[in-house]
Structures are given as structure tokens and as C-alpha cells.
A and B are shown apart, each in its own frame.
Chain A
């Protein structure tokens, strides 16, 4: 399975990759995007099976990426990993079609709980 990790923070992309490995999902094909625009473009070019995205990113926010993907008929599985988690954001994410909302800081156990049903 191909997983796209979108975060403008290099450190956080690295931590998401490491936590995926720790949670036992390291065998999947992991690709990275450093801003929202790149995430959208890579989603189109690489057809990932899952997108794990930050919320606040330059160029396009994570929820804008999700909305634009859905607007083009792309129903790729998509969820957020973000340090900000207000009820409004969660509602927006859900309304746009997000599958999950993981708040930073997160643990490998949290990743396992969220991704085991998705990645099997």
C-alpha cells in the first residue's frame, strides 16, 4: 500500500514515518510532500492508498487539499495529524470526508489504533 505523508515540518514527517514503523506499518511504500500544493499534486500523480496530512501548511491547508481531491472525484482515504484540534476543525475535517484526526503529540499505540483497521 502507498501512503503519502504531507507536512511542512521535516521533523514531523520524520516522526510520522518512524511512528508508522514502530506501529508495524513500515513495510508500506511511504512518500512525502512538504506543502499542501505538493500533497495535492502527488496525490494525483502517485495515486496513494492513504494520505496522512498536517492541517496548517503553506500553499494549501490540509483541509483544502482534501476538499480539492473530493471535488475532482478522488476518494482516497485521508486523515489529519495536527497539533491543533478544535471542535470546529474536527467538524470541518469530518464534513470534508476525513477518516481520522490524530492530535500531536501522538504515540505508536495511537497510530496502531487508528491505522490497524485501515491498513490491516
Chain B
């Protein structure tokens, strides 16, 4: 039997809004506009894994242009000054921030991994035995950005073990 995560789409949306307010859009002029399209494309992504009271992944995915813009906002640079390292570090930090906030809402006994960054679409990740349970999908200045939660399926493991 799977245990439902105690974090729903509204919670995720609130976390995302706080990230925008604090770092990506402090002036409040360029919010993430929801598309509700879970199949929107991405070019880069980052994730943290959570194990324990809930087991799964929190994934941040976006276009390269949106990642570059996020890195520029985080590091107070112009977008053309952003290096590949800047881009990867900022993507990792974004997954870490949202993952840490998700962890704080879970029952005690959850462990957060260090972030992993992949400069390829999130569809390339293929989290084994995990299904997407919620997500926030939107466009930021016309560029796709999403944050999604993938829950590990313990029933799949049991089937494999049988």
C-alpha cells in the first residue's frame, strides 16, 4: 500500500511562489504563469531524493534559457555572463530549496539527498518505480519551468521481489 505524500499541489505552488518572491522575481513583475501542462518540454533538470517517511524525488525542470535566467537572478549576473557551472549550481540549489521545504512538511524521519543536476530534459531521467504524484507547471517569461514530485512505488518492488 502506498502512503500518500502530505504535500499537495497547492503546497508546491506556495513553495515555488516563495522562491520567485525571494530570488527570481523579487520585484513581483515576472511571476511563473501556470500552464497546468505536465507534458511541457524541458531542456535541463535537477532533483533531490527523499527517503524514509516518504520516498521519492523532487524535480525542478526548465528550458536552458529559463535556467540561465534563474542563474543570472541568483548570482546577480547578466544572462550572457552565466557559465555552465553557474547554471548547474543554481539548478542544484533550486532542487535543494524546494526539496528541503517538501521534507519539512513530511512526517519525521525523512532524509534529503544532495542535489543531482542533469543538463538534459527531465524525461531523460526515467525514475524507476516512481510515479508523478503532483507538480507545478508554468512559463516564466515565456519559458517552461516545472517542479514535480515523484513517489516511489513500493508495490512495484514487491512485484519484482515476488
A residues sitting closer than 8 Å to B (CB atoms) are 9-12, 14-15, 18, 56, 82-88, 103-107
A83 vs B114: C-alpha distance when bound (angstroms)? 12
B residues sitting closer than 8 Å to A (CB atoms) are 18-19, 21-23, 26, 74-76, 86, 89-90, 92-93, 96-101, 103-104, 108, 112, 114
Select from chain A the residue with minimum beta-carbon distance to B22: A105
- What are 28 of the A-B contact pairs (CB < 8 Å)? A9-B89, A9-B96, A10-B89, A11-B75, A11-B89, A11-B92, A11-B93, A14-B75, A18-B76, A56-B112, A56-B114, A82-B100, A83-B96, A83-B97, A83-B99, A83-B101, A84-B103, A85-B104, A87-B108, A103-B104, A104-B22, A104-B97, A104-B100, A104-B101, A105-B18, A105-B21, A105-B22, A107-B26
Select from chain A the residue with minimum beta-carbon distance to B105: A86
Select from chain A the residue with minimum beta-carbon distance to B89: A11
Enumerate chain B residues within 8 angstroms of A88, measured Cβ to Cβ: 108
**Contact (Cβ within 8 A) A105 B97:** yes
Select from chain B the residue with minimum beta-carbon distance to A104: B97
Select from chain B the residue with minimum beta-carbon distance to A9: B93
Q: A11-B75, A56-B112 are in contact. Are A85 and B100 (CB under 8 A)?
A: yes
- The distance from the CB of B102 to the nearest CB of chain A, in whole angstroms, is 9
Given contacts A9-B93, A10-B89, 16 further A-B contacts (CB under 8 A): A9-B96, A11-B74, A11-B75, A11-B86, A11-B93, A15-B23, A56-B112, A83-B96, A83-B98, A83-B101, A87-B108, A88-B108, A104-B100, A105-B97, A107-B21, A107-B22
